[in-house]
Structure 1
Amino acid sequence: MKLHAPEAILPTLTATIAVVSLAFWLATGPPKGLEPRTPGRDGTIDAAGQTDRPEPGQPIAGPGTASDISGRWPGFLGPNRDSIATDGPKLARSWPEEGPPVLWSIDVAEGYAGAAISDGRVYVLDYDKQAQADTLRCLSLDDGREIWRNSYPVVVAFHHGMTRTVPVIVEDHVITMGPRCHLACWDAATGRSHWLIDLERDFGTRVPEWYTGQCPLVDQDRLIVAPCGTALLMAIDYRTGDVIWQTPNPRGWNMTHVSVVPMEFQGRRTYVYCASGGVVGVAADDGSLLWESTAWKEINATSPSPVALPDDRLFLSRGYGSGALMLQLVETESGIRAQTVFELKPKQFSSEQQTPIYRDGHLFGIRKVGAKTMVCMDLDGHQVWDSGSDRFGLGPYMFADDLLLILDDDGTLTVAEATPAGYKRLARHSVLPGGHDAWGPMAMAAGRLILRDMTRMVCIDLKAKP
């Protein structure tokens, strides 16, 4: 009698069981009560975040009215995109025990989207989870009540927050960049939609991990963005949405969380961007590529924008085990070359979220590694001082009325005197009690400071008492 080895019988038995099981499943149908997967609800998102091209709706009016208070913070990092308030009243150098007055507070979707301010209105690109829509909210600077809102549908799943960008205001237009790279233009007074461009669909943009943090730039009467798809950079007529020029992207570099930065070089206006594979400079007039450097490639994520400095220098920094790099542009016979001046190790300086500030011939920023202190450096990368026992997190900071304002991760606000001569804390208070991940960029107008944590946005009166 011929015996079959077990390993010879197993394949036949397995195949028989599979055929019987398939027949049973086809006869009985799938289990009852299953629901189709909605992209994003389970933490995954399809290639475009939705099935149909998004169409903005009609504005919905609210009870708020525009304030008579003057002052502007028209976009990311302020009027000059340098985190320095150039006008406004005197600010208080000390606070009562209860802290500075909180004028209003609103709930916002999880994220880090900051505010822009103009004509007594506050604009924030929020997310309506119930409607599954990016939603531009226009609020009264007086009391935070909503004047209007408008939106377009897009699925955004929670992924270390959802919102990340700051609108830019130019004339009577508000321009926004959504988490999934929807570029939209709205009427500042009414909320009516002018146009919408889906960079992912129309220009092959790859949405960065944790969504985009790129804030739109308006410069020389044009909207400048970095799609990093079929085009590396792009200039757009912000009134119509028409493309004016595109910079080729032959290397296929992808978008990071960085925003485009203007820079003058040898009397020529240029734009600098840190893409995934390196740093580029393009001409403002026609978008032609002037120079590129692979000395600064993305590692995990790059969030701080380049800082343009005198003598044709650029300061670059990030976290995730990286430090900082100083580049200098040099004119050569073959074109412009970006040469490395020096590098800093993470323990010397690294900034994971915020863009350092250039002021008084020095750089100010929070060093992530170690004690997380505020440091002042000269332009050769040497530390002048640090804040000692005053330690901070990944939150924003800015200068106003010669004071340095710093927001910690948990919503604690510090006001200090900070010059190249030294650092001196003047006051500190928890303005967002119980807060966490308070990383969104600040905005200030007329002595009113708008800041946020993961789920709340507040307006604080920092004006000095008469």
Structure 2
Amino acid sequence: MRFIQLSLLIIVCLTVPCQGGDWPQIMGPYRNGHAAASESLAAEWPSGGPNLKWQRPAGSGFAGVAVFQNVAILFHRIEDEEIVEALKADTGEVLWKHQSPVSYKGTFNPNDGPIAVPLIYKNRVYVFGIAGHLQCLDFKTGKQIWSRQTHKDFQVGEGYFGVGSTPLIIKDKLLVNVGGKRQNAGIVAFSLDQGRTLWQTMPDDASYSSPISAYLNGSFVALFITRLHLAGIDPENGNILFQFPFGKRGPTVNGANPVQVGRHIFATASYGVGGFWGEVKVNSTSEIWRNEQPMSSQYTTPIEYDGALIGIDGRQDVGPARLVCFDPATRKVLWAEENYGYATLIEADNKLLLMKTDGTLVMATASKEEYKELGRAQVLNSTTRALPALSNGLLFVRDTKSLKCLILNNSGESPVTPDKSSSN
């Protein structure tokens, strides 16, 4: 059973409409790491790894691409400009380009490019730059429709690594992890048409976690992880429906997205924070457990599979990191691959695609019974933090040097010969 929650499918239909094979937002069509049911992957790869469809240079930043109707949106930085580019997904041809100035300089990390994945919705593209520049662009032309300088508007500091949370759309509102704690604007709702402030709530700094939409007790709830809380927000008015302490002060980061499993919520972070498992009932919420075991993930969001959670336990920067599958209700580890290395995950066609930060792509069976590897290939040559995207059998992966499009379906297409000028 690929999903145990029909509610997730309902949420997608009402919030981010997409066609089979689209990947219009962070972590895919359902915002949970699962690809569309129509995706079909080859059972094995050629001896040299997946065939390369095309590749091109990319600037700085860790933002993965979003894909809609055979158009891939790349968000990166070159010199002193943040650049949004629309590319034909099957060829890499540039359809349009939008540029805006940026002066952010990395402090704790040398990265100075955007981290938040673009969001595509109803012929518009929403991007959230590393210095808080929130923009709405026309999907067909790249023309700017509106923009907000959220750091200036809500008195937000730069944070450890700049902005890293992808906005969420519920009905007619763009919900953003802004971090304007001085103005009770930790979370802000903007109108989709003009970018007007509709409401603001919570005196919290921002995190690097992206919010999700959950259907709980008969209504839609926006689940946010801020700097210090896991909160359920009423998207209509910003009322805080429930909140739990989550995170620590000091040099820590909340990076993984919350995960809904039925009426339960899971959250995870490293830095001594650990995992959290709670339950949301009609008239009450409760914390069931909180512990560093079995999962304390620095920024990888685990994937729910048949009631279990599969993801990375550990950190990229200091290690070790293991791949682990566990039952969140009991905390029982079902299987684990020790010293696996850090990675981000996609589930498609009952297979796991794991993009490791050392540039290795791995394919394995999606199972809570065992880990079975099906393929492994070195596809990038430098540190790879950007989330991969899968659309109609094409996998988009990038580091800070290049964006590559790999063929993972059964099309039988032969590899292209890459242009030497665009290779790593």
- TM-score (ref. length: structure 2): 0.85
C-alpha contact 2:278 2:288 (8 A) present in aligned 1: yes
2:189 is aligned with 1:241: no
The residue number in structure 1 matching 2:216 is 265
Between the aligned partners of 2:395 and 2:156, the Cα distance in structure 1 is: 34
The residue aligned with 2:74 is 124
Q: Residues 70 and 120 of structure 1 are in contact (CA less than 8 Å); yes or no, is this contact kept in structure 2?
A: no
Residue 442 (structure 1) aligned with residue 388 (structure 2): yes
Q: Is 1:301 the equivalent of 2:248?
A: no
Which whole-Å CA distance do the structure 2 matches of 1:358 and 1:70 have between them?
Answer: 20
Equivalent residue, structure 1, for 2:298: 352
Contact 1:448/1:459 (8 A) holds in 2: yes
Asked if 1:134 is matched to 2:96, the reply is: no
1:107 paired residue number = 57
Q: 2:230 aligns with which of 279, 297, 307?
A: 279
Partners of 2:161 and 2:246 in 1: CA distance: 24
Q: Distance in 1 between the 2:245 and 2:264 partners?
A: 16
**For each residue in 1:312-369, what CA deviation from the matched residue of structure 2 results, as whole angstroms up to 9, or x when unmatched?**
321111122332111223455xxx44x32112225x3211121111121110101126
Choose the corresponding residue for 1:374, options 323, 335, 342: 323
Unmatched runs of 5 consecutive residues or more in structure 2: 1-18, 413-424
CA spacing shift, 1:295–1:128, aligned 2, 3 Å: closer
| Residue 340 of structure 1 pairs with residue 340 of structure 2 | no
Q: How large is the Cα RMSD of the aligned pairs?
A: 2.0
The equivalent residue for 2:416 is none
Hey, what does 2:7 align to over in structure 1? Answer: none
CA distance in structure 1 between the partners assigned to 2:242 and 2:273 by the alignment: 23
The range that moved more, 291-300 or 145-154, is 291-300
- Distance of 1:426 and 1:371 partners within structure 2: 23
The aligned counterpart of 1:192 is 143
Map 1:322-341 to 2 at 5 A: 322-330=273-281, 332=283, 336-337=284-285, 339-341=286-288
Aligned-partner SS, 2:314: coil
1:91-124 CA distances to partner (integer Å, 9 max, x unpaired)? 1121122111111112222221100001211102
Q: Which residue of 1 aligns with 2:6?
A: none
In structure 2, the partner of 1:63 is none
Instruction: Tell me what 1:362 maps to.
Output: 308
Work out which of the two has the higher radius of gyration on C-alpha atoms and give 1 or 2. Answer: 1
Query: For the Cα contact (< 8 Å) 1:156–1:179, is it kept in 2?
Result: yes
Give me the whole-angstrom Cα distance separating, in 1, the residues matched to 2:272 and 2:370: 28
1:463 aligned to 400, 405, 409, which one? 409
**What SS does the aligned partner of 1:422 have?**
coil
Distance in 2 (CA, whole Å) between partners of 1:70 and 1:140 is 17
* One-letter code aligned to 1:323: G
Give the ranges of 4+ consecutive aligned residues of structure 1 lying more than 6 Å apart after TM superposition: none
Change (3 A) 1:71 1:86: closer
Separation in structure 2 between the aligned mates of residue 234 and residue 105 of structure 1, nearest angstrom: 37
2:164 pairs with 203, 213, 218, which one?
Answer: 213
- Counterpart of 1:228 in structure 2 is 179
Contact 2:206 2:227 in 1 (8 A): yes
2:378 corresponds in structure 1 to 430
Q: Secondary structure at the match of 1:367?
A: strand
Cα shift at 1:203: 1.8
Residues of 2 paired with 1:402 and 1:208: CA distance? 38
CA distance in 1, matches of 2:186, 2:60: 30
Q: Which amino acid aligns with 1:268?
A: S
Asked whether the 8 Å contact 1:406–1:414 carries over to 2, the reply is yes
Number of equivalent positions: 383
Cα distance in 1 for partners of 2:219, 2:46 equals 50
Three-state SS of the structure 2 residue aligned to 1:200 is: helix
CA distance in 2, matches of 1:89, 1:359: 16
What fraction of aligned residue pairs are identical, expressed as a percent?
27
Whether 1:86 aligns to 2:32 is: no
Query: How many Å apart are 1:297 and its aligned residue?
Result: 3.9
Moved more, 274-283 or 189-198: 274-283
Q: Secondary structure at the match of 2:304?
A: strand
Secondary structure of the equivalent of 2:29?
coil
* Match of residue 3 from structure 1: none
- Cα 1:262–1:374 change in 2 (3 A) is same
Offset from partner CA, 1:167-194 (integer Å, 9 cap, x none) = 1001110000000111100001101000
Deviating more after overlay: 175-184 vs 373-382: 373-382
Distance 2:165 2:55 in 1: 26
Contact 2:321/2:340 (<8 A) preserved? yes
2:176 touches 2:187 (CA, 8 Å); kept in 1? Answer: yes
